[in-house]
């Protein structure tokens, strides 16, 4: 069965729940709640990546993450950290995290050096960047992307990136591929739809796949009428996650309980 990453945003401005878990005690409480709901991994992020998000220093990310990681590790949680900063990666690896989830796909060469000799698995996320100089910027953009070209573009990106990372000494067996969703692909909802439909094309790399559609704006557009705010995108999120569940190995979500319950019913009926 697909493994579930439960999202805990230790941020002031995440698009869905900014500020809600900035207090370490509340973040730990939410992480434990997601574990009880059935999360296999808790995915912690201390810097938002939506297009208008604030920049957060490595020092502030470390300060936000450290007490939460320490408490959740004491609760035997498997932990992923969402960061693109090598200094943050180095620090959290010493705390024993299991995955590094990098929305820039290790664009910073120092990140490759930091991760090369660690046991952690690595999520490489693809994103459309307006300029090459933006490759190390973790924030999503608002690109005008052609839906007909997105799948070949993502395939080409991973062909090159995996080759570069292997040449730098990181085994392909440690990699998990995330094609990106929502504004990471483009402002047109059709781009995310096309990428979801083309997920099978990424199986050629022999790596596990991860997707995160949770509460993203393209789902709000697909439901018709006025744009639904993030807190009203639960049913649309669950529909997309169930569709993806037989096509990927990991799903990253805010609402672990809904996905876990739906998967249990689905597999029971499909038995």
Q: What is the residue range of 17's domain?
A: 3-270
Distance CA 169, CA 102 (A): 17
Q: Is 189 helix (H, G, I), strand (E, B) or coil?
A: helix
55 is catalytic: no
Residue of 64, 215, 233, 252 with catalytic role: 252
pLDDT average per 10 residues of sequence, the chain (271 residues): 96 79 96 98 90 83 98 97 97 98 96 97 89 53 87 97 98 97 92 97 98 92 79 93 97 98 95 83
Report the DSSP beta bridge partners of residue 175: 122
Beta carbons of 9 and 19 less than 8 angstroms apart: no
pLDDT of residue 131: 47
Instruction: Determine the length of the chain.
Output: 271
Helical pair 24-37 and 58-74, crossing angle rounded to 10 deg: 50
Question: Residue 240 maps to which CATH number?
Answer: 3.20.20.20
pTM of the model as a whole: 0.94
Helical pair 109-116 and 86-94, crossing angle rounded to 10 deg: 20
Residue of 216, 228, 233, 260 with catalytic role: 216
Count structural domains, the chain.
Answer: 1
| Structure tokens that stand for 69 in this block | 């990681």
94 is catalytic: no
């Amino acid at each position: 069965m697909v493994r579930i990453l439960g999202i805990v945003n230790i941020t002031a401005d995440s698009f869905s729940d900014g500020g809600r878990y900035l207090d370490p005690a509340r973040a730990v409480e939410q992480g434990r709640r997601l574990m009880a709901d059935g999360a296999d991994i808790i995915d912690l992020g201390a810097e938002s990546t939506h297009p208008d998000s604030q920049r957060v220093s490595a020092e502030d990310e470390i300060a936000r993450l450290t007490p939460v990681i320490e408490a959740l590790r004491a609760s035997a949680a498997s932990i992923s950290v969402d960061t693109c900063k090598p200094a943050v990666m180095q620090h959290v690896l010493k705390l024993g995290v299991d995955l590094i989830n990098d929305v820039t796909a290790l664009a910073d060469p120092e990140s490759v050096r930091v991760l090369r000799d660690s046991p952690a698995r690595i999520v490489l996320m693809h994103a459309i960047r307006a300029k090459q100089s933006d490759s190390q910027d973790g924030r999503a953009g608002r690109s005008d992307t052609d839906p007909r070209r997105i799948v070949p573009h993502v395939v080409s990106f991973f062909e090159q990136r995996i080759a570069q990372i292997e040449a730098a000494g990181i085994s392909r067996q440690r990699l998990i591929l995330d094609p990106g969703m929502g504004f990471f692909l483009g402002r047109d909802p059709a781009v995310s739809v096309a990428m979801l439909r083309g997920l099978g094309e990424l199986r050629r790399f022999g790596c596990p796949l991860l997707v995160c559609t949770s509460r993203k704006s393209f789902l709000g557009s697909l439901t018709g009428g006025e744009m639904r705010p993030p807190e009203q995108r639960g049913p649309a999120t669950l529909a997309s996650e169930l569709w993806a569940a037989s096509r990927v190995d990991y799903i990253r979500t805010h609402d672990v309980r809904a996905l876990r319950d739906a998967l249990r019913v689905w597999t029971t009926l499909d038995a």
